[in-house]
Chains A and B, each alone.
Chain A
């Protein structure tokens, strides 16, 4: 009896420790973003000082804009590119399929620093002026393989005749794509999109190497600012955490609500 109680208690403790380990750093950041003094060790009182400073700091605000806009554009473009590639891949000959899926894995496995230097050298060789555009192109290039990886298995799982069935019923090839194929592989596309967005949003290494002319994203500006104590970073981090928390909540709750509604309709008809 006692043994069992100790066992269940230690199980709970273990889980608690794990979560503490994951979340303490985040909580510390959040708490100290509301600190009234500059100290990162002593909490001297509640204030929104760092938040006002954050909004007033045009350098940080422009970095936020760069991160958000690059992530959004890179996600949109790489999702379209990756999805089309995955669909095309499924219709290719076997040997092409095998080669391309393997080649697609290399950028994912490759150390980021190598990709970063490679892209930097490429842009220099092509005499591209480093800045927003080079950063966007780099992000598209490293996001696309992730989209392909998450969409391809969904495409492969489709009935071989599904596009034929749509065209047989009068759909043009484009309509077959938009009305049948894309809705059916949507889970894969959504997963790929989320992956691409996160990869792009928190990228540091590649952005650092391919950007220039003062164009910086959040990771780069944080890196620059950590050289001196600056709690505005805490405020920025807190906002990002809250945004991500809300996003995760929405992504997880919406399908559940939809399912409930769908099930009700089905039940009514049985």
Chain B
């Protein structure tokens, strides 16, 4: 895989507030990469720097190995899909999509053909003459995607494009976007604060917080092997417990020792352990080291969310079995369910 975009030590300050504190990132060709993080973490700023709407204070931005920091947005081979679509209401659907080509003075017949092809790609055939303001949110979003893709960019930037849609439509558009990305075969850089969206669509997830990149990895990596407390708690629900790494593959927490699969920590190093709620099994108290009582049960649709009070803390458990409040239970988990991470300073 070839690196298409490279960010080296990018920093950015707005009104005395440092939004980006040194971003280093390599983005490959044909990759679906997601910048994931809470609002204010710097993900949108990173995207705007790549698009050219904002300029970094320091650092390098390489595109195909060439420094492009000073290149204005209209000379960059990237196109953007904006959060609130930013369609042009004085133009109809076809004119909106053709905007980029018309600016480049493309031949009229070519424009008509390409617009038709794009409308087909986003599933809006026959909508050419429609007024963009008469379209639903989902349809407007598709027009925005078509308007960007018709310019055949090397990279498509998407800034929380599904933010304004309802839950059902979001799901539908997620699948659709992934399909479109495969079809056109270009790099997508996607910004979202929705961890589920990030995990289900991306090839690579970049977790950001407070102007720093916290972790870069595949969706399975960031979910199963979170590098620190922030990543663990931001992506999915988790039980985070302080503990000690006794030696390779042996960890101690809550007063017991457990076998695990993690290596490479110092002996007796202070660490934190992540236990995903769905990885914990509820068993009879005599079959487990950790014992407690069921504190609360909440029905969540597919599963129950059960809080079990132990001597030192409450554990969150997701299970499809029902347990009564007040029941004495034991908690078990396998060595591969224990994820050990560096302690955050």
Contact = CB atoms under 8 A, between A and B. Distances in A.
Contacts of A168: 51-53, 73-74, 78-80, 148
Nearest to A180: B88
Contacts of B131: 262, 266
A170 B104 contact: yes
A170 B84 contact: no
Contact of A269 (B73, B90, B130): B130
Interface residues of A, number: 23
A169 B148 CA distance: 7
Interface in A82-139: none
A80 B54 CA distance: 28
Interface string A166-184: 1111111001000110011
A166 B89 CA distance: 13
B40 interface: no
B103 A169 contact: yes
Interface in B42-86: 51-53, 72-74, 78-80, 82-86
Nearest to A269: B129
Interface stretch (A31-39, A45-53, A69-77, A156-164): A156-164
B86 A170 contact: no
A227 interface: no
A258 interface: no
A265 interface: yes
Contact of B74 (A159, A170, A186, A269): A170
B126 A161 contact: no
Interface in B120-134: 126-131, 134
Contacts of B79: 168-169
Contact of A165 (B82, B90, B127, B129): B82
B53 A183 contact: no
A260 interface: no
A268 interface: yes
B187 to A, nearest CB: 16
Contacts of B129: 265-266, 268-269
Determine chain A's interface SS by DSSP, over half rule.
Answer: helix
Interface string B148-170: 10010000000000000000000
Contacts of B90: 183-184, 186
Contact of B88 (A175, A184, A262, A269): A184
Contacts of B104: 170
Contacts of B134: 266
B285 interface: no
B212 interface: no
Contacts of A161: 82-84, 86
Given A171-B74, A266-B134, A165 B103 contact: no
B99 interface: yes
Contacts of B89: 184
A168 B99 CA distance: 11
Contacts of A186: 90
Contacts of A172: 74
Given A170-B103, A269-B129, A164 B86 contact: yes
Contacts of B291: none
A167 B74 contact: yes
A186 B127 CA distance: 25
Given A170-B151, A171-B74, A172-B74, A165 B130 contact: no
B229 interface: no
Given A175-B103, A266-B131, A266-B134, A165 B86 contact: yes
B5 to A, nearest CB: 16
A183 B89 CA distance: 9
Interface string A247-270: 000000000000000100110110
B147 A169 contact: yes
Contacts of B147: 169
B100 interface: yes
Nearest to B83: A161
A221 B89 CA distance: 47
Given A168-B51, A269-B127, A269-B130, A162 B72 contact: no
A170 B103 CA distance: 7
Contact of B73 (A164, A179, A180): A164
A162 B103 contact: no
Nearest to A172: B74
Given A161-B86, A164-B80, A169 B99 contact: yes
A175 B151 CA distance: 17
A204 B100 CA distance: 49
Contacts of A165: 80, 82, 86-88
B120 to A, nearest CB: 16
Contacts of A175: 103
B249 to A, nearest CB: 51
A262 B89 CA distance: 14
A265 B92 CA distance: 11
Most buried by A among B80, B85, B86: B86
Contacts of A170: 74, 100, 103-104, 151
A265 to B, nearest CB: 5
A164 B53 contact: yes
Nearest to B80: A168
Contacts of A180: 88
13 contacts: A164-B80, A164-B86, A165-B87, A166-B99, A168-B51, A168-B53, A168-B79, A169-B74, A169-B79, A170-B74, A171-B74, A175-B103, A269-B128
Given A168-B78, A169-B100, A170-B103, 6 more contacts: A159-B85, A161-B84, A162-B88, A172-B74, A184-B90, A265-B129
Pairs of residues from A and B, 5 with the lowest C-beta to C-beta distance, nearest first = A169-B100, A165-B86, A161-B86, A183-B90, A167-B73
